[in-house]
Amino acid sequence: MLPQTIRIVYIAFWSTVIVILVAVPLGIVLTRPAVRRISPFVLAVANSGQALPAYGLLVIFLGIMGQGRFTVIVALSLYALLPVLRNTMVGLDGVDRSVIEAGRGMGMTKMQALTRIELPLAVPIVIAGVRTALTLNIGMATLAFLIGGGGLGITIQTGLKLNQDPILIVGAWLVALVALSFDWLGAVAERVLKPRGL
């Protein structure tokens, strides 16, 4: 079962990395005044990933990209995009404007105000979105075996097919353990990245 556990960790990790690399910069851009008016449209597109059932989304990407881990990772990235995107926007919008203006008054550029004031203050909310995305991805990664992605879903399916409760329970417990481990790592990252005094 170790290879299957490693497979689900691999899929969940890389799909979440892609989500962060896409959603955080996109959330930053969508909170800028020049493009704020298109943010409802972008959020609607991101929401479409979660509007579909997880299995349905995997089947759609199976038809487009074929079987394999890469297909699963891309599908999971779309599925988990919304929490990180939305939390990035909420976190940045929640920063007190007077604090930003104070920074600008001290001579900071817009980019400096973003990197030194806005993003550090938004970190707790952004990390909460990342933790949600990780949980979603681990849960959905159990279905990866259906389109050739492997993972612990194979163990769970084997337990069901053979009517072997011990195999089923071990598979389910391993999925839960992976999810809890990732959530704990997210909590550690939040404590490390959170600005002092908050």
- pLDDT tens for the chain, residues 1 to 198: 778 888 888 998 999 999 999 999 999 999 988 888 888 888 887 777 677 777 777 888 888 888 888 888 988 888 888 889 999 998 998 888 888 888 888 888 888 888 888 988 899 899 999 999 998 888 888 888 877 777 778 888 888 888 888 888 888 899 899 989 988 988 888 888 777 655
Interatomic CA distance for residues 144 and 6, integer angstroms? 13
Q: Which CATH superfamily is domain 2-193 in?
A: MetI-like (1.10.3720.10)
Q: Which two tokens stand for residue 193?
A: 């990245």
| Structural domain boundaries in the chain | 2-193
At residue 126, the pLDDT reads 93
CA atoms within 13 A on the CB side of 186: 24
Cα distance between residue 193 and residue 36, in whole Å: 27
pLDDT attached to residue 24: 94
What is the CB neighbour count within 10 angstroms for residue 74? 15
Check: CB of residue 38 under 8 Å from CB of residue 47. Answer: no
Tokens (6 digits) for 80: 């988990």
